[in-house]
Amino acid sequence: MFYSLTEMRGAAMSLTAAASGLVVFLLSVSVVQGQDGWRVSCSSTEICAVKGSTVEIRCSYTYPSSWNNRVNTLEKTLWLTKQKGGKHVDLNTVSEYAGRVEDLCGNNICTLRIRNLRESDSAEYRFMFKTNQATYWANPVTLSVTDLQVQVSRSGSSTLLRCLSSCSPGQTSYIWFKNREEVKEDTSSYAYFRYESADSYSCALKGYEDFPSPSVYAPKLPSVSVSPFGEIEQGSSVTLTCSSDANPAANYTWYKRNGSANLSSVKVGPRLVLSSIQSSDSGQYYCRTENLLGRRRSESISIDVKYAPKLPSVSVSPSAEIEEGSSVTLTCSSDANPAANYTWYKRNEDSPKASGQIFNITDFRAEHSGSYSCGAQNKLGRSNSTFHLIVVAWSSTMIVNIIRTTLGVLILILALLLSLWMRKKKALRSTTEAPEEIELDSDPEYENNSHTAAQTEDTEEQEDMV
């Protein structure tokens, strides 16, 4: 090849300026073939064009009016294409191009225009012309049709973007758009930016500004949805779905809130399936989405699992020992969602005794004794607890009082009996002594002796008692 890079650029720019809109000419290189007035040259040898756009390849040709001493006249011009490893075929015979190609010829210039480019149009194209005496081929033109993509990577606090295409390096220059406005042009496909949360970036090939790459941006506010819609019953299966618009695609993490604390992730991925949901799964959930450009958190979504009443618990106040004539307060509690209503029954009685969580029985009588049940009910079901209420004839305090009183009375009686017995003993002694005394009247010596004996007995008794 015999061109320099500066020539290429200069030619490319002037042609680009001349070409309007979607059309671009990249290189203008003289491809001279033959001699003696035979010549053909095309606008470029390599073209990189963006998918969906329109490309034009232009070739000009000259030939001598006479050749080998004979009149030389043009018979036809032709565009051929050759897929990799294939043969050259007339473009007009290839069905894939039908309706998309135009061949415009005039003043020894032919222009091939291909619209709505497809990646499969990437191929070698060749112009030829034929006179009554000879055939001349232009050098091949290689067209590559590229998709554009922005590749994101982080580099410290900067964001490194790369415009990915199948163009060869140096073949084209890159235009960068920030929020759809052109901010930069560079021959390098790399560009550093300081990314801010709401920005979007895209790139385009010079000359194809109307066919930019898809934009890259941080995730937009994620939306969350619950399926199935409506009330959630315990045991059912519930799916929470998070979706967030982001490019590059975001990753997803589900979190469950616990009071004011944020729990660690419960699931990685856009869908959180709570199969056989339990009341403990109730709470606030949210998702977080993240890509290399940023992250967003969704609104919280509230999950309220409804369930039938659990087995009620019954408390009896003041205590389970009910004294006849006293009042009792019965309280029934059952965990239920929605809250349960309560009904009280007594066994063998058809109609309920009461409704409401608290049941008071005043003036408890023996006939109130028996088996009771408390039923808790909400629209999802009901649950019962049975318990017994019995009148106790003697309460423990009463028994203590009775024992105390009885003991007191017993002690009193004992003391009484003792004093009675002693008095009786004294009385007995004086009656047995009396006849002796009478006898003593007749025998005073004996009387004296017996007196002293009685006295010593008395003192002995007194000492025992002390």
Between 140 and 309, whose beta carbon lies closer to ligand NAG? Answer: 309
Two structure tokens written together for 62: 């000259």
Shortest Cβ 414–ligand NAG spacing (Å)? 45
Provide the mask over 369-388, with x wherever binding to ligand NAG is found by CB under 6 A and - wherever it is not.
--------xxx---------
Shortest Cβ 376–ligand NAG spacing (Å)? 9
The reply on whether position 46 binds ligand NAG by CB under 6 A is no
Two structure tokens written together for 21: 């809109």
Shortest Cβ 302–ligand NAG spacing (Å)? 15
Shortest Cβ 310–ligand NAG spacing (Å)? 16
Between 243 and 253, whose beta carbon lies closer to ligand NAG? Answer: 253
Two structure tokens written together for 374: 């408390």
For residue 24, CA distances in Å to 8, 125, 126 come to: 14, 16, 18
Which residue of 225, 329, 386, 448 would you call a contact of ligand NAG, by CB under 6 A? 329
Which residue of 292, 301, 389, 440 would you call a contact of ligand NAG, by CB under 6 A? 292
Phi and psi at 307, nearest 5°, equal -150, 155
Is the preceding omega at residue 312 within 30 degrees of 0, hence cis?
A: no
Q: Which of 316, 309, 372, 319 is nearest to 341 (CA)?
A: 309
The reply on whether position 291 binds ligand NAG by CB under 6 A is yes
The reply on whether position 290 binds ligand NAG by CB under 6 A is yes
Return the H-helix or E-strand segment holding 454: helix 444-465
**Cα–Cα distance, 138 to 151 (Å, whole number):** 38
Return the H-helix or E-strand segment holding 447: helix 444-465
Binding window for ligand NAG (CB under 6 A); candidates: 33-41, 51-59, 180-188, 257-265? 257-265
The reply on whether position 247 binds ligand NAG by CB under 6 A is no
The reply on whether position 466 binds ligand NAG by CB under 6 A is no
Shortest Cβ 327–ligand NAG spacing (Å)? 6
Binding window for ligand NAG (CB under 6 A); candidates: 116-124, 166-174, 254-262, 442-450? 254-262
Shortest Cβ 398–ligand NAG spacing (Å)? 22
Structural contact between residues 185 and 173, judged by C-beta atoms closer than 8 angstroms:
yes
Q: Is 200 exposed, middle or buried (0-12, 13-18, 19+ CB in 10 A)?
A: middle
Two structure tokens written together for 291: 């890509």
Total residues at interface with ligand NAG (CB under 6 A): 22
The reply on whether position 249 binds ligand NAG by CB under 6 A is no
Structural contact between residues 114 and 103, judged by C-beta atoms closer than 8 angstroms:
no
Phi and psi at 296, nearest 5°, equal -140, 155
What is the DSSP secondary-structure string of 134-176? -EEEPPPEEEEEE--EEEEEEETTEEEEEEE-SSPTTSS-EEE
Q: Which of 229, 226, 237, 307 is nearest to 274 (CA)?
A: 237
Between 45 and 151, whose beta carbon lies closer to ligand NAG? Answer: 151
Three-state secondary-structure class, residue 117: coil
The reply on whether position 261 binds ligand NAG by CB under 6 A is yes
Shortest Cβ 372–ligand NAG spacing (Å)? 16
Shortest Cβ 151–ligand NAG spacing (Å)? 13
Between 228 and 318, whose beta carbon lies closer to ligand NAG? Answer: 318
Which residue of 262, 279, 313, 333 would you call a contact of ligand NAG, by CB under 6 A? 262
Provide the mask over 330-359, with x wherever binding to ligand NAG is found by CB under 6 A and - wherever it is not.
-----------x-x-----------x--x-
Two structure tokens written together for 10: 């200069």
Q: Which of 190, 196, 59, 211 is nearest to 145 (CA)?
A: 211
The reply on whether position 360 binds ligand NAG by CB under 6 A is yes
The reply on whether position 253 binds ligand NAG by CB under 6 A is yes
Three-state secondary-structure class, residue 446: helix
Structural contact between residues 175 and 182, judged by C-beta atoms closer than 8 angstroms:
yes
The reply on whether position 183 binds ligand NAG by CB under 6 A is no
| Interacting residues toward ligand NAG by CB under 6 A | 251, 253, 258-263, 268, 290-292, 297, 329, 341, 343, 355, 358, 360, 377-379
